[in-house]
Amino acid sequence: MSLFEQARNVIAGGVNSPVRAFAGVGGDPVFFRSAKGARVHTEDGRELIDYVGSWGPMILGHADPDVIAAVVETAERGLSFGAPCVLETRIAERVCDIMPSIERIRMVSSGTEATMSAIRLARGHTGRDKIVKFEGCYHGHSDSLLIKAGSGALTLGVPSSPGVPAGLAEHTITLPFNDAGAVQSAFDELGDQIACVIVEPIAGNMNMVPPVPGFLEALRDVCTAAGSILIFDEVMTGFRVALGGAQSMYNIEPDLTTLGKVVGGGMPAAAFGGRAEIMASIAPDGPVYQAGTLSGNPVAMAAGLATLQKLVEPGFFERLGESTRRLAEGLKGAANDAGIPLAVEYAGGMFGFVFTDESEVRRFDQVAAADIDRFRSFFHGMLDMGIYLAPSAFEAGFVSASHGDAEIDATLEAARAVMKTL
pLDDT digits (tens, 9 = 90+) for 92-127: 999 999 999 999 999 999 999 999 999 999 999 999
Predicted TM-score (pTM) of the model is 0.95
For strand 256-259 and strand 229-234, is the pairing parallel, antiparallel, or unpaired? parallel
- What is the rounded average pLDDT of the residues 127-148? 86
Q: Which of 233, 250, 255, 371 is catalytic?
A: 233
pLDDT digits (tens, 9 = 90+) for 253-284: 999 999 999 999 999 999 999 999 999 999 99
pLDDT recorded at residue 18? 86
239: left (phi over 0), alpha (psi -120 to 50) or beta: left
Closest CA to 223 of 253, 243, 250: 253
- Those residues whose C-beta lies under 8 Å from the C-beta of residue 63, and which sit 6 or more positions away, are 34, 35, 36, 37
DSSP string over 321-379: HHHHHHHHHHHHHHHHHTT---EEEEETTEEEEE--SSSS--SHHHHHTS-HHHHHHHH
- What is the rounded average pLDDT of the residues 138-144? 81
In single-letter form, the type of residue at position 41 comes to H
Q: Is 357 a catalytic residue?
A: no
CA 175 to chain centre: 19
CA dist., res. 318 & res. 325, Å (int):
10
pLDDT digits (tens, 9 = 90+) for 227-256: 999 999 999 999 999 999 999 999 999 999
Q: Which helix (H) or strand (E) holds 234?
A: strand 229-234
Q: Which of 130, 133, 261, 371 is catalytic?
A: 261
- What is the rounded average pLDDT of the residues 370-384? 96
Q: Is 188 a catalytic residue?
A: no
Centre a 10 Å sphere on the Cβ of residue 10 and count the other Cβ atoms it contains: 7
CA 265 to chain centre: 14
Q: Which of 51, 130, 133, 138 is catalytic?
A: 138
Angle CA(8)–CA(10)–CA(14) in degrees, nearest 5?
Answer: 30
Provide the pLDDT confidence category of residue 63 given band limits of 50, 70 and 90. Answer: very high
pLDDT recorded at residue 149? 53
Residue ranges of domains in the chain, CATH in brackets: 3-63+314-419 (3.90.1150.10), 65-311 (3.40.640.10)
Q: Is 365 a catalytic residue?
A: no
Residue 154 has pLDDT above 60, yes or no: no
pLDDT recorded at residue 153? 40
Closest CA to 269 of 57, 71, 4: 57
pLDDT recorded at residue 150? 45
Per-residue burial over 26-46, b = 16 or more CB atoms within 10 Å of its CB, e = otherwise:
eeebbebeebebbbbbbeeee
Do residues 360 and 343 make contact, with C-beta atoms less than 8 angstroms apart?
yes
- What is the rounded average pLDDT of the residues 37-57? 97
In single-letter form, the type of residue at position 308 comes to L
CA dist., res. 249 & res. 316, Å (int):
16
CA dist., res. 302 & res. 323, Å (int):
27
Q: Mean pLDDT, the chain, as a whole number?
A: 94
pLDDT recorded at residue 145? 76
pLDDT digits (tens, 9 = 90+) for 155-201: 445 567 787 777 777 889 999 999 999 999 999 999 999 999 999 99
Residue 81 has pLDDT above 60, yes or no: yes
